[in-house]
Amino acid sequence: MPDLFPQPGGDGGAGSKPARVVDRAGLDAVIRSLQSRGYRTVGPTVRDRAISLAEISGVADLPQGWHDSQSPGSYRLTPGADLEIFGWAVGADSVKRQLLPPREVVWRAGAQDLVPHEEPAAGLAPLALVGVRPCEVAALGILDRVLGGGRVTDPRYASRREGLFICTVECGSPASTCFCTSMGTGPGAESGFDLAMTEIVEEDDPRYLVRVGSDRGAAVLDEVESQPATLRDEAARQEVLARARTRMGHGVVTEGLPELLERNLENPRWDQVASRCLSCGNCTQVCPTCFCVSVEDITDLAGTVERRRRWASCFEVGHSYIHGGAVRPTTRSRYRQWATHKLGTWHAQFGTSGCVGCGRCIAWCPVGIDLREEVSAIRASDGMRALAPRPGGG
């Protein structure tokens, strides 16, 4: 698979540049430098009791001192007096909203002029994401394969993705819902970024070890006052990552996962989870890689036609509607679609897993259904069949 939006990141080229260290003021200067280059800078902020991505003007907008605690079906964010800026794990919001907005108009046509005309693609300044986690960067890599130019290219996605600047921050504070180590997407950042930071909190003010992943990244960092990273800084980074690994929740055994799921389509566990599942679709909405949209044509009284699309979900009955009815009419069949697509059939379809282990679907499920637990229950009962055959496979 060719690199669709090349961003070397750590492996040769610009990536071989030695790491630097900046302080809080230096981080602010990185943000300002991006702005002076014409980027809209978007990063983590506190909004509505959760971490979510929004436009930031400088380091003061970042969630300094905020910490979260997450478990299945539960998320709490609390303020603190400390100087740590990135002391939390991902909130419900993800980079998906920035590149694949929840609602957008695809085209409009007037009453007379029935030739659809394309909306000007975004028309906005290019985006710089500052302070997004490595699992977010990995999710972007997955979305790239789906929407950015594999078999099909979504022009809207591609235009937003092109020129995207990514300044990731490695993860020092995973939640109990996180399992990026299982999915190989974190807590460290390996590739796909322009700059990668690690927040090092010791006695004094936090400092930021910055690694360069692209020429663009190098140019930005060159403008900022920084020190060469010392051996002590490098060791501190390794310690942050090692601690993060131990603070992670339990993981998922990924070995042979697609095959495991494929031979367990009739496992009674699907009935068990369906009795608890609300079919509300929150898991797919918060998942950074769920890309399903519904396309609707709307007319108005003046005769204008508008084609709109919105986030959709395989938990909607209409998602599997073909003539005559829905192929997945039950919650059992819909939950199974979600889990087997994310962890199984995605491999055959796009060549990777559809899951980056961010844990959002676990924390933001109102009834706390835990994808990891469902998978390990299936593994434990591998090969078990549902008691009665099901007409129509529902």
Residues that bind ligand SF4 (CB under 6 A): 277-284, 286-292, 313-315, 337-338, 341-342, 355-361, 365-367, 369, 371
Type of residue numbered 38: G
Query: What tokens does 48 get?
Result: 């509505």
C-beta closer to ligand SF4: residue 212 or 257: 257
- Distance in angstroms (rounded) separating the CA atoms of residues 26 and 29: 5
- Which does residue 294 touch among other proteins, ligand SF4, none (CB within 5 to 8 A, set by kind)? other proteins
- Is 393 a binding residue for other proteins by CB under 8 A? The answer is no
Binding letters toward other proteins, positions 28-67, x by CB under 8 A: -------------------xxxx-x---------------
Under a CB-based contact definition with an 8 Å cutoff, are residues 206 and 26 in contact?
Answer: no
Binding letters toward other proteins, positions 101-140, x by CB under 8 A: -xx-------x-----------------------------
C-beta closer to ligand SF4: residue 197 or 365: 365
Which residue intervals of 132-281 are DSSP H helices? 134-147, 155-161, 180-183, 215-222, 231-247, 257-262, 269-276
Which residue intervals of 37-179 are DSSP H helices? 96-99, 134-147, 155-161
Residues 6+ apart with CB under 8 A from 66: 46, 51, 77, 78, 79, 80, 87, 88
- Is 183 a binding residue for other proteins by CB under 8 A? The answer is no
Judged by CB under 8 A, the stretch of 24-32, 87-95, 253-261, 372-380 that binds other proteins is 87-95
- Is 277 a binding residue for other proteins by CB under 8 A? The answer is yes
Under a CB-based contact definition with an 8 Å cutoff, are residues 69 and 175 in contact?
Answer: yes
Under a CB-based contact definition with an 8 Å cutoff, are residues 309 and 292 in contact?
Answer: no
Under a CB-based contact definition with an 8 Å cutoff, are residues 141 and 179 in contact?
Answer: no
- Which does residue 287 touch among ligand SF4, other proteins, none (CB within 5 to 8 A, set by kind)? ligand SF4
CB of 333 to other proteins, least distance (A): 11
- Which does residue 363 touch among other proteins, ligand SF4, none (CB within 5 to 8 A, set by kind)? other proteins
Q: Contacting other proteins (CB under 8 A), which of 41, 198, 282, 289?
A: 282
CB of 152 to ligand SF4, least distance (A): 14
Beta bridge partners of 70: 75
Q: Which of 78, 73, 69 is nearest to 46 (CA)?
A: 78
Pairing of strands 127-132, 40-47: parallel
Which residue intervals of 40-171 are DSSP H helices? 96-99, 134-147, 155-161
Total number of residues that touch other proteins (CB under 8 A):
50
C-beta closer to ligand SF4: residue 6 or 325: 325
C-beta closer to other proteins: residue 25 or 278: 278
Q: Contacting other proteins (CB under 8 A), which of 80, 303, 351, 394?
A: 303
Q: Contacting other proteins (CB under 8 A), which of 165, 311, 338, 346?
A: 311
CB of 162 to ligand SF4, least distance (A): 23
- Which does residue 359 touch among ligand SF4, other proteins, none (CB within 5 to 8 A, set by kind)? ligand SF4
Query: What tokens does 256 get?
Result: 């042979």
Q: Which of 271, 280, 383, 286 is nearest to 342 (CA)?
A: 286
Type of residue numbered 131: G
- Which does residue 371 touch among ligand SF4, other proteins, none (CB within 5 to 8 A, set by kind)? ligand SF4
- Distance in angstroms (rounded) separating the CA atoms of residues 27 and 22: 6
The phi and psi torsions of 73 (rounded to 5 degrees) equal 75, 10
Contact residues: other proteins, CB under 8 A:
47-50, 52, 73-77, 91-93, 97, 102-103, 111, 275-282, 285-286, 294, 296-303, 310-311, 313, 315-318, 331, 334, 363-367
